[in-house]
Amino acid sequence: MGSSSVAVSGGHTVFVYGSLLADEVVRVLLKRIPLSSPAILSDYHRYSIKGRVYPAIIPLEKKNVTGKVLLGITDPELDILDTFEDVEYERRSVVVSLVDSSEKMQAYTYVWANSTDTNLYGEWNFEEWKPLYMKDFVQMTTGFVEELEGPESKPRVATYESFYQPDDKTTPYP
């Protein structure tokens, strides 16, 4: 039982590169923090997205995305991640390199579904994101999970949009 090896028997491996790099967000979604290991995904680029606080990755030669792999993700947890990533992303199987050992491993990751999206720009940086957006994002994620467990769950994009653009009923509309 006391093995500290990276290999976790059973479950899925998921490469994360955006808001899920934050343990606080993962803990809200999965009710635990899985074992993880720093990893690099080659030939992809991590973009910022206009109007969103989370990033997108799409294939781009000679670029790398640094992130980490979450290990031993169960089927129900993968379902939660799928729902959280919603329609904007598609789950793909990729090969990542572990930073500590250069070992390559198969992992799922969430790739931006619209690879020609004109809202993608620049580069997204986790260290810049954390102090600016993490607290709100954890709150939004908490709302998403409560909805998920409730009788009428909303897609994550709807939860996101209602959280970040609250309906202000006092504003008169033309």
User: Domain residues of the chain, as ranges?
Assistant: 12-164
Per-residue pLDDT tens listing for the chain (174 residues): 333 345 556 799 999 999 999 999 999 999 999 999 999 999 999 999 999 999 999 999 999 999 999 999 999 999 999 999 989 999 999 999 999 998 999 999 999 999 999 999 999 999 999 999 999 999 999 999 998 888 776 778 888 888 887 555 544 434
**CA–CA separation, 170 and 131 (whole Å):** 31
Q: What is the pLDDT of residue 91?
A: 97
Which is the CATH superfamily of the domain at 12-164?
A: Gamma-glutamyl cyclotransferase-like (3.10.490.10)
Q: What is the pLDDT of residue 8?
A: 54
Q: What is the pLDDT of residue 172?
A: 44
Q: What is the pLDDT of residue 19?
A: 96
Is 85 known to be catalytic?
yes
User: Choosing from 24, 77, 85, 146, which is the catalytic residue?
Assistant: 85
How many CB atoms lie under 10 A from the CB of residue 127?
A: 7
3-state secondary structure of 62: strand
Q: What is the pLDDT of residue 149?
A: 82
Q: What is the pLDDT of residue 167?
A: 54
What tokens does 91 get? 């789950």
Q: List, in sequence order, every beta strand (DSSP E) within the chain.
A: 12-16, 36-49, 56-73, 89-98, 104-112, 120-121
